[in-house]
Amino acid sequence: MHELSLVSSILNIIDDYAGREGFEHVNSLQLSCGKLSGVDPQCLQFAFEVQSKDTRAEGAILKLDILPAIIHCLNCGRNSEVDRIEIRCPECGAEEVLLTGGTEELQLLELDVD
Ligand SMILES: [Zn+2]
């Protein structure tokens, strides 16, 4: 499960911050990732609960922002939100499209700590 290694790198980042800023406990953390990044929110939540035991982040609320998948059409110039990777512009039907959003890796945006 891909999520286990993601969570352990997030926990390492939290440890680094704690070392520098001296907080004791994490209340909540805000993460984001692209819709097409392959992160399963439920697996992530589960992995977090298991791996955060006995760490500063135990019991913290995990918030995950899913960034939409966006394709940009080179023909009509419009951006469209899609559910999966499309090879055709939903607006004009052209096939000259670029995927411009949705593949972002998991990122830690914010920590609320005590
Ligand atoms: Zn188009």
CATH number reported for the structural domain that contains residue 105 in this entry = 3.30.2320.80
Distance 97 CA to ligand 1 centre (A): 8
Mean pLDDT of the chain: 94
Distance 93 CA to ligand 1 centre (A): 6
E strand or H helix that includes residue 2? helix 2-21
In the predicted model, is pLDDT for residue 1 greater than 80? no
pLDDT average, residue stretch 29-45 = 95
Give 7: exposed, middle or buried? Use CB within 10 Å, 0-12, 13-18, 19+. Answer: buried
Query: Percent of the chain, pLDDT > 90?
Result: 94
pLDDT average, residue stretch 90-101 = 95
In the predicted model, is pLDDT for residue 71 greater than 90? yes
Positive or negative: CA dihedral 48, 49, 52, 57: positive
pLDDT average, residue stretch 11-21 = 94
Task: Give pTM, 2 decimals.
Answer: 0.86
In the predicted model, is pLDDT for residue 47 greater than 80? yes
- What is the predicted pLDDT for the residue at 102? 95
**Cα–Cα dist 41/6, whole Å:** 12
Distance 73 CA to ligand 1 centre (A): 5
Range of the domain at 42: 2-113
Q: Taking every pair of C-alpha atoms in the chain, what is the biggest distance, in angstroms?
A: 54
Q: Which of 59, 87, 84 is nearest to 73 (CA)?
A: 87
pLDDT average, residue stretch 60-75 = 96
The answer to whether 98 and 72 are in contact (CB under 8 A) is: yes
Q: How many domains does the chain have?
A: 1
In the predicted model, is pLDDT for residue 2 greater than 90? no
**Cα–Cα dist 78/112, whole Å:** 37
- What is the predicted pLDDT for the residue at 86? 81
The answer to whether 104 and 34 are in contact (CB under 8 A) is: yes
